[in-house]
Structure 1
C-alpha cells in the first residue's frame, strides 16, 4: 500500500534522513520508533509532501507520489495526523470535521470502504460526541488529539500517517486512540505510526522499524522487539 525507498530529507543545509526505506501493507500497523531527534516526524512529513527538500522514491497504491504537493497526496487517500494537532481553534468540533470531509473511496480491488461520518466518529470517540458544538480552542490536549484524528478520517483515507497519538494524553484517551487504530486495521487500512511509547506501540502495531540518526537500524515484528531486551536498550533506551 505504501512503499518508501531511500528517502533523504533536509532542513536547510541539515541532512536529516539518510536513505530511509520501509513499507506498509493493507491492514498492517507499522510502528516507526526511536529516540527524540531520530527523524520519525521528518519521515512522516517527507512522505506526506510537507518538506521543501527530499530525495528518494515514495509510492502509494503503486503510484509515485514523491515530489507531489501535500494537498494532492491527501486527495489520493493518504491521511496525515500531525504531532502538533493543527485543529482550527475557532471552529467547533463539527466544523473541524466538515473541514476534513472528502468523498467516499473504494479499496484497490473496487470494494467500497465504509464512509466515516460524524456519527461513526462520535461512536469511536465518545468524548467528541459530548461536545459537537465546542470550539477547538476550548478542548483539552487529549480531546484535540482525538479531533485531529477524527478530522483526518473524514478524508476517507486508505492509509494514515499518525504522529505520536499517545503523547501527553490521559490513559483513557490513549485507550480510545488504540481502539481507533484497531478499527482502521480491521477495515484494511495501512497505518504508519510514529511512536515513542513502547507499551502503546506494542498494543497496536504488527511490526516495528527503529530509526537512529535518520537511518533504519532495526526491523522486527513488534512482539519480537518487545521481547528483545538488548535491542530495546540499544535503540530505545528502555
Structure 2
C-alpha cells in the first residue's frame, strides 16, 4: 500500500511540473510578425533604407511649400541629424524611402523614369529660389504660387562601386499641377545639377498634401 501511494505521489508531481513548464512557454505569435504593407498612405520602411539615407548622404536642409496660402518654410539640419531623427520631421524619412523604393518599383511607384532639364520643370525651377539663411527656421515672404512641394537639399552623393543605391544631389516631391491626384519624385543628378530624373507617383497627390499640412502644423503650428 505504501509503495502504491508513493508511486501515485511521484506521478502527480511529474504531471504538475509538466503543466507549469508548458504554461511558461512564450507565445511567439504576435501582430509584429506580419509583413509590412505598402500603400500610398504610408511608404514602406526597412532597416536597409535607413542605413542608406542616414549613413551615405548628408542632408543640409528642407524647404516646404503648401501652395494654397503662400506658406513656404525652410528648416536647417544640424550635426544630430534632427530632420531625420525627430518625429515631427517624419515626412523627410518618408521621401527618402520613396527614393529607395523608386529603384525597386515598389509601393505603386511608376517604374519608368524620365530625364529632363530643369528649364522644362517649372515647379522644380521655382524651388531653386530658396537659398537658406544662417537660421534654424525661416519663412519666405510674398509667395504667390499655388504649387505644393517639399525639397530636400543635400551635399552631392555619388555611390561607390557595387552600391545598389541612387546617386543624387537634391530630392523633391511635388503635386502634379495638371492632376492633383498624382505627384512626382524628382532626383537631381549629382554630376549635372541642371538634369533631373522624374518619376510618376500615381495616387500620391492627396497623400502629399495631407503630409505637408501635418508637417507644417507640427513644426510651425500653422
TM-score (norm 1): 0.25
Structure having the larger proportion of residues in strand = 1
Q: Which structure has the higher relative contact order (CA within 8 Å, separation 6+)?
A: 1
Q: Which has the larger radius of gyration?
A: 2
TM-score (norm 2): 0.27
